[in-house]
Structure 1
Amino acid sequence: MSSQYLDLVEKRRTIYALGKKVTQTPDEIVELAERAIELSPSAFNNQTTRAVFLFNENHDKLWDLTLERLRPEVPTEEAFKSTQAKIEGFKAAFGTILFYTDTDVVKEFENNFALYADNFADWAEQGQGNAQFNVWTAFANEGIGANLQHYNPLIDDEVKAAFNIPDNWKLRAQLPFGSIEQPAGEKEFMDREDRFKVLK
């Protein structure tokens, strides 16, 4: 069997040491990510995933407001210094993608397909995973590193106000990306016997 696809999947790693030395332009990065999201499967092809691309001062603004929002949540000054160092690492990246779910579309499908109404929120989350993974992997194929963060819902209100986000968009994840300044470490896998069941 060909392993070309799995070789590409293996390149997708969580990269925390990110920089701004990417060779692609913002327009090229946006085009790549938009296409990856468009090609991602979603339940009933309802395409609930939305994305906001932040570069330059908008990228910086996101991580500055995230740090300030976290300040009252961190119990000690020492712990806050650790949090600050982590946020500064994200800010050092070239840009960030904010992934959203359009809740109006979810509600529309809940109403139109009552038999499956209880599933559409879960399916939208699965659609998010598909889109995020595809963008992340497409970036890896171009030598762009990334890591996936979830400061939602803590930062939702601040981000909504800062970037004029529609009320019906629900923040699901943040993907800072940039040049790979240090590779990821060795990845460990649990025993397959504990994870998989094969019936022949």
Structure 2
Amino acid sequence: MTRDFYTAVEERRSIYGITDEFVITDERIEKIVQLAVANTPTAFNSQTGRVIVLLGNSNKDFWQVAFESLKSEINKEQIGKIEGKFKAFASGYGTVLFFEDYEVVTSMQEKFPTFHEQFTEWSHQASGILQYLIWTSLEYEGFGASLQHYIPAFSYDIRQQWGIQHGWKLIAQLPFGKPIVAPKEKEIKPLDQRIVIIK
């Protein structure tokens, strides 16, 4: 890709129309995720972020698990809409699952009790940075993606199969794939109402 970092930041959008067609190798995806996880800043260098990347059938399985877990909590009118949305996510190349390791958060709270309340907030801030970094990086490589926040219940078998450790809390999901639709135009509110420069 010839785009620079700032162009990637400017062009990142939520893209829902995706397919499982080839864009880059699985090895390249792994390198992108490794780079992001290794270099995302965290409070007190706590490194609380955990990531699972589901590709192929595992991606499809996740969205089926999510649908089965959540459909009992939604009304009948919403079921078809949610199922259609999840099938669209499952049709992509993969999904990145973002977790925070709450065992680490708890240990930091015990080690630094003065900041007990802040560590949960800092953990989520770090997760947001990690989500944004991976999202922008995947779009830089040619994928389309969108950030989701469904929290399904995972059975013991699924936890074992996917390596979800005790204490990991699911924060967000990033389904990604080859984009087949253009992103919607983004409305940006006047920046002079959102930024203050003081000299």
TM-score computed with the length of structure 2 as normaliser: 0.90
- State the distance in 2 between where 1:5 and 1:164 align: 33
Aligned partner of residue 6 in structure 1, secondary structure? helix
CA-CA distance at 1:130 after TM superposition: 0.7
Given residue 68 of structure 1, which amino acid in structure 2 is its aligned partner? E
- State the distance in 2 between where 1:58 and 1:98 align: 12
Q: 1:150 matched to which residue of 2? A: 149
Q: 1:55 matched to which residue of 2? A: 55
**Contact 2:100–2:170 (CA<8 Å) still a contact in 1?**
yes
Aligned partner of residue 189 in structure 1, secondary structure? coil
- State the distance in 2 between where 1:164 and 1:199 align: 48
Cα deviation, 1:44-90, whole Å, max 9, x if unaligned, reads: 111100001111121111011111122222212x4321111111110
Misfit runs of 4+, over 6 Å: none
Correspondence 1:93-132 to 2 at 5 A: 93-132=92-131
**Contact 1:22–1:144 (CA<8 Å) still a contact in 2?**
no
**Contact 2:12–2:139 (CA<8 Å) still a contact in 1?**
yes
Which 5+ residue runs of structure 2 have no aligned equivalent?
none
CA-CA distance at 1:193 after TM superposition: 4.2
Q: Percent identity?
A: 32
Given residue 92 of structure 1, which amino acid in structure 2 is its aligned partner? S
Aligned partner of residue 156 in structure 1, secondary structure? coil
Aligned partner of residue 173 in structure 2, secondary structure? strand
- State the distance in 2 between where 1:121 and 1:9 align: 27
- CA RMSD in angstroms comes to 1.8
- State the distance in 1 between where 2:10 and 2:108 align: 35
- State the distance in 2 between where 1:22 and 1:55 align: 12
Cα deviation, 1:112-156, whole Å, max 9, x if unaligned, reads: 11222221110000100110100011111111111111111xx03
- State the distance in 2 between where 1:61 and 1:144 align: 21
The total of aligned residue pairs comes to 195
Which 5+ residue runs of structure 1 have no aligned equivalent?
none
- State the distance in 2 between where 1:137 and 1:95 align: 15
Aligned partner of residue 115 in structure 1, secondary structure? helix
